Copies of this chain bind each other. A is one copy, B any other.
Amino acid sequence: MDIKSVQKRLREFAQEREWEQFHSPKNLAIALAVEAAELLEPFQWLKEEESRQLAENPTDYALVKEEIADVMIYLLRLADQLDIDLESAVEEKIRKNAEKYPVALAKGNAVKYNRRES
């Protein structure tokens, strides 16, 4: 995905509709959290195993696909409005996680894992 090019298209989409006034980082962060919860909703009563078979339910699968897109779109907009380079942010975090969770210590370790990752 050419992140910057998609961000440019989304920015123009908002500008044409004069929506930039609503797209403050604060509001976009709210919208992102709302969409993330909508993405979570179809999973709420499923057993974990059922969630691994979601593709067998075409209605929920299509819904989840759309919610994933919504989250991504707001994430792209928010990073764009804050002038944060999404790709380098991800690279930096992957490096940090590798240091924080060395294989030898983290392996299969539910207890350790059950600590906040961020």
Contacts and interface: CB of A to CB of B under 8 A. Distances in A.
Interface of A: 1, 3, 6, 9-10, 13, 16-19, 21-22, 24-27, 29-52, 54-55, 61, 64-73, 75, 78-79, 81-84, 86-87, 89-90, 92-94, 96-98, 101, 103, 106-110, 113-114, 116-118
Contact of A72 (B25, B61, B90, B98): B90
Contact of A21 (B36, B51, B98, B108): B108
Name the residue in A34, A46, A79, A92 with the highest tally of chain B Cβ atoms < 10 Å from its Cβ: A34
A72 B48 contact: no
A68 B78 contact: yes
A98 B13 contact: yes
How many copies of this chain does one complex carry? 4
A89 B75 contact: no
A66 B89 contact: yes
A48 B24 contact: yes
A58 B25 CA distance: 15
Given A41-B34, A118-B70, A17 B75 contact: no
A114 B89 CA distance: 24
Contacts of A25: 43, 51-52, 54
